[in-house]
């Protein structure tokens, strides 16, 4: 339960492409909370995932750069998810 609260503290910081640590730490903590503690903690990560992929946050993105911005965010979230999956091992 404490890992989920800690994950929320990282998820509450504004999203930006410059802060890569936020995504990695929040994903790792949500995964640890789901494995070690409460299994439904992974369901609590769904709003974080939607925010990471679709909310601009502190980024200023011109319309022509939207696809590359989304690709960078998706890649960052995918790498963080793959790293978090190592906890299962």
Say how many domains are in the chain.
1
pLDDT in tens, 6-21: 777 777 777 777 777 8
Using a cut of 0.75, tell me whether the model's pTM lies above it.
no
pLDDT in tens, 43-83: 888 888 888 788 877 778 888 988 998 898 889 888 888 88
Residue span of the structural domain in which 43 resides = 2-88
Nearest Cα neighbor of 51 from 87, 28, 22, 31 is 22
Euclidean distance between CA atoms 44 and 32, whole angstroms: 13
């Amino acid at each position: 339960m404490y890992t989920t609260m800690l994950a929320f503290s990282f998820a509450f910081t504004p999203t930006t492409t410059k802060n890569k640590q936020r995504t990695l730490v929040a994903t790792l903590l949500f995964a640890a909370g789901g494995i070690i503690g409460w299994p439904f903690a992974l369901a609590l990560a769904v709003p974080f995932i939607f925010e990471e992929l679709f909310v601009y946050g502190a980024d200023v993105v011109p319309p022509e750069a939207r696809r590359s911005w989304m690709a960078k965010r998706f890649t960052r979230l995918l790498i963080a998810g793959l790293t978090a999956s190592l906890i299962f091992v």
